[in-house]
Chains A and B, each alone.
Chain A
Amino acid sequence: GAVVSQHPSRVICKSGTSVKIECRSLDFQATTMFWYRQFPKQSLMLMATSNEGSKATYEQGVEKDKFLINHASLTLSTLTVTSAHPEDSSFYICSARVGVREQFFGPGTRLTVL
């Protein structure tokens, strides 16, 4: 299947700092990427849909000014958690649409805010 990578895989930061997470499609071009987060022992929750060259569409309850998404190319989408706080600690996962019907997921980024 198609390969989606994320970087970094794990990040620890101090409260108030900003963290950028990269999501790359390695062997295909993705016009649409999705960002999810997963709290411990919970399921994945969609945060936003990222379309190349346009603004992201955020799910209800997700602050667009706090979670900045940029999809500047067909192989890269970035999620920046601005002014991170301990409650933002979570597992962040991106996925990319492949063809018409399939989505492939990245390995995830574990964010810990101290």
Chain B
Amino acid sequence: DAKTTQPTSMDCAEGRAANLPCNHSTISGNEYVYWYRQIHSQGPQYIIHGLKNNETNEMASLIITEDRKSSTLILPHATLRDTAVYYCIVSLGGANNLFFGTGTRLTVIP
């Protein structure tokens, strides 16, 4: 699986959009970009995934650059409950396991 690079930490004001970047310059053509988050002392929570096109669901939007070397997870209106570690993972998906890096610790500030 390709390696990803994320900032160690970020702050975001409550109610504002949180934009979390991820670099994955060695991604291969059939690898997906996954985003999970982990709130303290809980299991990771699936957020969204995509291959080439931008994706949106009830939790977030995923913007993938045309060359697929980077992506951005957007939480449109951050709340205090969105404070967590966010992991960007590149994987073939399916039966393949997910390799977690260090992630980005997002702190939403009141």
Contacts and interface: CB of A to CB of B under 8 A. Distances in A.
Interface of A: 1, 4, 6, 32, 34, 36, 43-46, 49, 91, 93, 95, 97, 100-108, 110
Q: Is the interface of A mostly helix, strand, loop or mixed?
A: strand
B7 interface: no
Most chain A Cβ neighbours within 10 Å, of B45, B49, B97, B100: B97
Contact of A101 (B41, B43, B45, B93): B93
Q: How many interface residues does chain B have, given as a range?
A: 20 to 34
B94 A46 contact: no
Nearest to A6: B43
A1 B59 CA distance: 12
Given A34-B97, A46-B99, A49-B97, A107 B42 contact: yes
A105 B45 contact: yes
Nearest 9 CB-CB pairings of A with B: A105-B43, A101-B93, A44-B100, A43-B100, A105-B44, A108-B43, A107-B43, A93-B43, A100-B94
